[in-house]
């Protein structure tokens, strides 16, 4: 089956590009001696998480308890929820889920720590706790070393909790367009986290794990013990890439596309059958994949027009895009497209785009290679 035979809109994954990205990130982590714990929220697929584990990841990061439950049900034994779980019912689900496996969660509040201990005691389980340190996101996390130490001592006193170290995620830096400024800001965060680690060491509570980082800042992390402070990297978007990260020139290949069909073609614009319900646009609109820059092996020559898949009519990323719920109008003077041509778009944000689909269609070259379920689609609880 050729990919142009897939009904649209459809989410497509270039397996060659994805596998290249997994090897690249894992190889870098192995070289530096940093553990890679990829973030599940980027793909929400146990099948892809398994590919990352097979390449050498130490475990999986996820955002919500519902995602952790899906991972555990799929056989994963080392999962970190990189957020707080505070609802009473969810805390008891979390404690039961932790029985017999390594399950971590982030904390930044003393009452939450007490509730986790009580639930873990009742469940007969053990929960690993990373205390979150505020490093610029202005979201969760304690603000001072003293607050951090107080919570670390509280966790260490709990028989069913394990003080595991520091969660320090500076997601606000991930998409900074200026690479030099992003590197400098990342170095400032690392220095601050390093000061915290030294402070905790002096008080007899060393952080065995320092976890965080993103696809956009991964290249700036140093080797643990040799100038680097992070022991674990939570990058996720590298596996797919998207328009926002693609603009940064990080060296990973674009692997995720939305396949769309042209339903109307005018002299200076085309209308495709994928709109706001087919793309996450929180980090910008989708881009028409540039000619010559589409998925590896896809026929994107002019000869494919009308019978195959094309990824550009000349304007590529510069095309003006106007989106409604079910359609997208792309201004392309002199485009040469026809109704029923199929084209590829690069999502502005891959993570939120994936969450809109039940399935991801896999392909190599221009051949479809099956599909996988987005098992954790909508698992925001």
pLDDT of 1 > 80? The answer is: yes
Q: What is the CA radius of gyration of the chain?
A: 22
Residues 120-143 have pLDDT tens digits of: 999 999 999 999 999 999 999 999
Which pLDDT score, from 0 to 100, does residue 249 have? 96
pLDDT of 188 > 80? The answer is: yes
Residues 320-360 have pLDDT tens digits of: 899 999 999 999 998 999 999 999 999 999 999 999 999 99
Neighbouring C-beta atoms of residue 358, cutoff 10 Å: 11
Which pLDDT score, from 0 to 100, does residue 296 have? 32
Collapsing DSSP to helix, strand or coil, 222 comes out as coil
Phi, psi of 227 (to 5 degrees): 105, -15
pLDDT band, residue 259 (cuts 50/70/90): very high
Residues 202-213 have pLDDT tens digits of: 999 999 999 999
High-pLDDT (> 90) share of the chain, %: 89
Query: In terms of C-beta distances under 8 Å and separation of at least 24 residues, what long-range contacts does 299-308 make, across chains too?
Result: 299/366, 302/336, 305/336, 305/337, 305/338, 305/341, 306/338, 306/340, 306/341, 307/4, 308/2, 308/4, 308/342, 308/366
Distance CA(193)–CA(216), nearest Å, equals: 18
Which pLDDT score, from 0 to 100, does residue 208 have? 96
Which pLDDT score, from 0 to 100, does residue 36 have? 98
Distance CA(212)–CA(1), nearest Å, equals: 41
- If one compares 317 and 213, the residue with the highest pLDDT of the two is 213
Q: Mean pLDDT across the stretch 215-232?
A: 94
Collapsing DSSP to helix, strand or coil, 41 comes out as helix
Token code pair at residue 344? 């590829």
pLDDT of 298 > 70? The answer is: no
Q: Mean pLDDT across the stretch 171-181?
A: 97
Closest CA relative to residue 286, chosen from 311, 252, 305, 265: 311
> Using the 8-state DSSP alphabet, how is residue 171 labeled?
G
pLDDT band, residue 293 (cuts 50/70/90): very low
Residues 84-131 have pLDDT tens digits of: 999 999 999 999 999 999 999 999 999 999 999 999 999 999 999 999
Give the alpha-carbon dihedral of 255, 365, 74, 57, to 10 degrees: -60
Which pLDDT score, from 0 to 100, does residue 290 have? 61
pLDDT of 153 > 60? The answer is: yes
* Mean pLDDT over the full length of the chain: 92
Token code pair at residue 295? 């998925």
Closest CA relative to residue 231, chosen from 5, 29, 379: 29
Phi, psi of 92 (to 5 degrees): -70, -35
């Amino acid at each position: 089956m050729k990919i142009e035979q897939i009904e649209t809109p459809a989410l497509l994954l270039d397996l060659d590009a994805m596998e290249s990205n997994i090897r690249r990130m894992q190889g870098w982590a192995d070289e530096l001696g940093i553990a890679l714990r990829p973030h599940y929220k980027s793909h929400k697929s146990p099948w892809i998480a398994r590919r990352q584990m097979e390449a050498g990841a130490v475990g999986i990061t996820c955002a919500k308890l519902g995602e952790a439950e899906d991972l555990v049900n799929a056989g994963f034994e080392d999962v970190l929820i990189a957020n707080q779980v505070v609802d009473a019912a969810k805390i008891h689900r979390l404690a039961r889920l932790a029985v017999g496996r390594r399950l971590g969660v982030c904390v930044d509040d003393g009452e939450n720590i007490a509730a986790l201990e009580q639930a873990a005691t009742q469940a007969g389980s053990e929960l690993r706790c990373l205390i979150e340190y505020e490093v610029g996101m202005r979201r969760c996390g304690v603000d001072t070393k003293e607050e951090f130490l107080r919570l670390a001592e509280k966790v260490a006193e709990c028989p069913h909790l394990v003080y595991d170290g520091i969660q320090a995620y500076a997601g606000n830096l991930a998409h900074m367009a200026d690479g030099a400024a992003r590197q400098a800001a990342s170095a400032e965060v690392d220095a601050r986290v390093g000061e915290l680690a030294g402070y905790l060491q002096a008080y007899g509570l060393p952080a065995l794990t320092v976890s965080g980082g993103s696809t956009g800042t991964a290249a700036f992390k140093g080797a643990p013990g040799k100038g680097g402070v992070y022991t674990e990297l939570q990058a996720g978007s590298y596996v797919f890439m998207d328009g926002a990260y693609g603009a940064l020139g990080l060296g990973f290949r674009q692997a995720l596309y939305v396949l769309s069909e042209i339903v109307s073609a005018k002299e200076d614009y085309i209308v495709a059958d994928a709109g706001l319900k087919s793309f996450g646009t929180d980090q910008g609109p989708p881009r028409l994949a540039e000619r010559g820059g589409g998925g590896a092996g896809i026929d994107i020559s002019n000869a494919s027009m009308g019978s195959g898949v094309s990824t550009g009519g000349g304007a590529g990323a510069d095309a003006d895009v106007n989106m409604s719920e079910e359609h997208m109008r792309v201004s392309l003077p002199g485009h040469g497209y026809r109704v029923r041509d199929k084209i590829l778009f690069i999502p502005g944000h891959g993570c939120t785009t994936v969450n809109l689909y039940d399935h991801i269609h896999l392909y190599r070259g221009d051949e479809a290679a099956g599909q996988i379920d987005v098992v954790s689609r909508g698992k925001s609880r």
